[in-house]
Structure 1
Amino acid sequence: MNAADDRRTVRALLDAHGRTYAEEAGIRLRDTPQPLYRLLVLACLLSARIRASVAVATARSLADAGLKDPRRMADASWQRRVDALGAGGYRRYDERTATQLGEGAELLLDRYGGDVRRMRAAADGDTGRLPEILQEIPGLGPAGAGIFLREVQGVWPELLPYLDDKALRGATRLGLPDRPGPLARLVDPEDTPALAAALVRAALDQEVVEDVRRRAEE
């Protein structure tokens, strides 16, 4: 495709599928402790082998249960966490995830004072170290770290453009550039998190690819 075609495809992609997972979960993302912690929890939930819609609903359920920060998560009983996970539909992994959420909250409190921004500070400007630091959280592996970083780049601009292998697979399926730089130049910087989320949806769902192609041709 030429540049005009690429931009048309990206506009169709964003218009139809360009909502971040944080937005879907009701997280108004800012560089403050509570929304960053909620995003961290969402990344943990999304990294399991479960539908994204279920993970998003469960993140909302945890927030509705008052488990919006690491202190409340750590202080909650294991059963309360299980119940909140189950209410969101996260039943297959509820018991293990309830344990991991409690352990992760304790680690964040003990090591980083409950503030995810201190994990960023611990990387000391080395964005390559940040995924490793994030993976100290139980249940947050490479996939979960990638999810977190794709979403948080909107408030941690040193990460821009964070378009990892999964996002680039979506770009390839759509016939878009398969390198972060050229791909990111197709949108304004503030739209990069939405682009990343939409590309992941294209990587995961052929129906998204077909829908975008149809819209781009209209």
Structure 2
Amino acid sequence: MTSTSAEKAARLLREHGRTYAEEAGITLRDAPSPLYQLLVMTVLCSIRIRANTAIDAARELFTAGLRTPTAMAESTWQQRVDLLGRAHYVRYDESTSTALGEGAKLVLDRFDGDLRNLREEAGGDQDRLIELLQEVPRIGPVGAGIFCREAQAVWHDLRPFFDERSRTAAADLGLPHTARGLSHLVPPEDLARFAAALVRASLSHDKHAD
């Protein structure tokens, strides 16, 4: 680790170090409701749409009380479409409403409404965890990466986790581009924030970390 890399990492944390879960109003804990909210946010971010639009859509759903798989499953398709529309989550509102409804039922039926059961089924195998996440409608490899990138804040056995997007951003900024290399730049408790900061810097084309 060079002092230059450490300084870049510290600057990224100062300027961009806010997780997407935090922005969506999720107080992330290792508990069923916040973990499910993170999953919903992941579903919303898993298509080619602006990140702030996806976050706004998540807030609309949570404000309306759709914070658990039970509440999501009991909502109507049209209710979800309308909530997504308020956040200008257009073009994908109908298909996403369907995915959210089906995903809620899967979480209830497959994992008894608790994503900690998904983690337990993975048994500490990161690849298996990613496979299980991809059983959720709309979530593919990119979405699974988003979930793990944020979940490492509370699922410490995921640390260090940097998905392809954050590793590419790191390389563009002249930083190590492996999870191990990046993990040496910040304390363990800041890894999720650091991964988010890399993505945010990439999205904003912010080069002040140079």
Report the TM-score when normalising by structure 1. Answer: 0.94
Q: By how many angstroms is 1:200 displaced? A: 1.6
Q: Is the 8 Å Cα contact of residues 167 and 200 (structure 1) preserved in structure 2?
A: yes
Q: CA deviation at 1:199?
A: 1.1
Aligned residue number for residue 211 of structure 1 = 208
Instruction: Kindly state the Cα deviation for residue 181 of structure 1 after the two structures are TM-superposed.
Output: 1.1
| Equivalent position SS for 1:211 | coil
SS in structure 1 opposite 2:195?
A: helix
CA distance in 2, matches of 1:27, 1:89: 20
Q: Flag structure 1 segments of 5+ consecutive residues without an equivalent.
A: 214-218
Map of 1:65 onto structure 2: 64
The answer (yes or no) to whether the contact 1:173–1:202 under 8 Å persists in 2 is no
Q: CA RMSD in A?
A: 1.0
Offset of residue 183 of structure 1: 1.1
| TM-score after normalising by structure 2 | 0.97
Where does residue 192 of structure 2 map in the other structure? Answer: 193
The superposition leaves residues 68-109 of structure 1 with CA deviations (integer Å, 9 ceiling, x where unpaired) of 000010010111111111112212210000000000001111
After superposing on structure 2, the runs of 4+ consecutive aligned residues of structure 1 that deviate more than 4 Å are: none
Q: Which amino acid in 2 is paired with 1:3? A: T
Name the % identity. 52
Q: How do residues 32-181 of structure 1 correspond to structure 2 at under 5 angstroms?
A: 32-181=31-180
CA contact (8 A) 2:146 2:163 kept: no
- Give, in whole Å, the separation in 2 of the partners of 1:133 and 1:63: 24
Q: Are 1:16 and 1:212, in contact at CA under 8 Å, matched by a contact in 2?
A: no
Between the aligned partners of 1:110 and 1:39, the Cα distance in structure 2 is 18
Distance 2:196 2:88 in 1: 22
Please tell me whether the aligned partners of residues 45 and 55 of structure 1 are also in contact (alpha carbons under 8 angstroms): yes
Give the paired residue count. 210
Q: Mapping of 1:12-23 within 5 angstroms? A: 12-23=11-22
